[in-house]
Amino acid sequence: MILALPALFTAVVARFAAEAATVTPGTVSALDDHTVGTSSPSVHTGAAPTGAMSVVLRVVASGTIGTAGITYEYSLDGGLTWSTTTALGTAAYVTIPGTGVRIDFSAGTLIAADRVAFTTTAPVLAVVPQVFGWRPPAQRTGQPRRICWVPGKDGDVGKLAPARNPGRNPRPLATLLELFTVYIEAQDPSAPEDELAQYQVARELFDAWLRAVHLAARGTYTVESLAWVDEKKERRFGATLRAVCTVQAMVPDAEFDSAPVDTEADVTTSLLDVDEHTETA
């Protein structure tokens, strides 16, 4: 049986993972082995590497930039494997497919066997950790953002309401308006004393969370209350929002999945050369 609250949690976690925002873009190292005739190569300033690579571009046929005749090949693993030979044509740059990398050349010539080499780093994605349960990890474990899902509200499970959307299989006996509490924690480490900055990151994370919930459970959830967690006794670390919500959870008219209802035993016993056949439900 699929329960509504775990299904919602799983859907929101999946959406956050699919839409993870780039926190630190990939970087490009300084060029190495870049004596290529009279042209000066450079990596395009708008390049956004898609992963960690050891890029090598090798000139196969010499020529003048802007004039057809130059060919090249490239490697993404430091020269262990190479692409097919490709014509540069009249272009003044090489775009390496699927890498986000573009190498520009100034006017001049390229000479066969010369190389352009550099490395890249992968972007760092902000996948927000999300935990489920009554005993989430201690707050502020080093992550700048985290979302904690706690079933219920101070022990209250929710209220039973009449069945909704009849005609389903299994048919619904009732609807549990199931309570759950979500703690949305965020910190801007670049400005730990700036409470406006802490407010900003917490509100942005709440907005992203609410969007994911709405897309996963539109029409079946409510946000009952929303409050800032503001303990006066301790120095605050970032900011935390607490949302108390409900989700409609069907109580089905279905057997508990301990064993199939039609389970039977088919037993044959033998005593004094007489077989006795018994079927029991």
pLDDT computed for residue 99 by the predictor: 82
Please check whether residues 41 and 69 belong to one and the same domain: yes
Please check whether residues 13 and 134 belong to one and the same domain: yes
**115 domain-assigned:** yes
In the listed set 100, 124, 148, which residue is the last one of a domain according to the structure?
Answer: 124
In the listed set 97, 124, 151, which residue is the last one of a domain according to the structure?
Answer: 124
Tokens at residue 83, please?
A: 């692409």
**228 domain-assigned:** yes
Segment-wise mean pLDDT, segments of 10 residues, the chain, 281 residues: 89 87 75 73 75 90 94 93 94 87 90 89 80 74 80 95 84 94 87 84 93 94 94 68 96 73 54 50 49
Residue 60, domain extent: 23-124
pLDDT computed for residue 168 by the predictor: 78
Please check whether residues 112 and 229 belong to one and the same domain: no
pLDDT computed for residue 192 by the predictor: 77
Please check whether residues 69 and 159 belong to one and the same domain: no
**78 domain-assigned:** yes
pLDDT computed for residue 35 by the predictor: 65
Please check whether residues 13 and 149 belong to one and the same domain: yes
pLDDT computed for residue 23 by the predictor: 65
pLDDT computed for residue 207 by the predictor: 94
pLDDT computed for residue 46 by the predictor: 65
CA distance 199 to 240: 9
CB 110 within 8 A of CB 100: no
Please check whether residues 139 and 112 belong to one and the same domain: no
Please check whether residues 120 and 136 belong to one and the same domain: no
DSSP 86-151: EE-TT-SEEEETTTTEEEEE-SSEE-TT-EEEEEE-PPEEEPPPEEESSSPPPS-SS-SEEEEEEE
pLDDT computed for residue 33 by the predictor: 59
Query: pTM for this one?
Result: 0.57
CA distance 52 to 121: 4
Please check whether residues 117 and 217 belong to one and the same domain: no
pLDDT computed for residue 57 by the predictor: 92
CATH, residue 140 = 3.30.2000
pLDDT computed for residue 25 by the predictor: 77
Please check whether residues 118 and 44 belong to one and the same domain: yes
**272 domain-assigned:** no
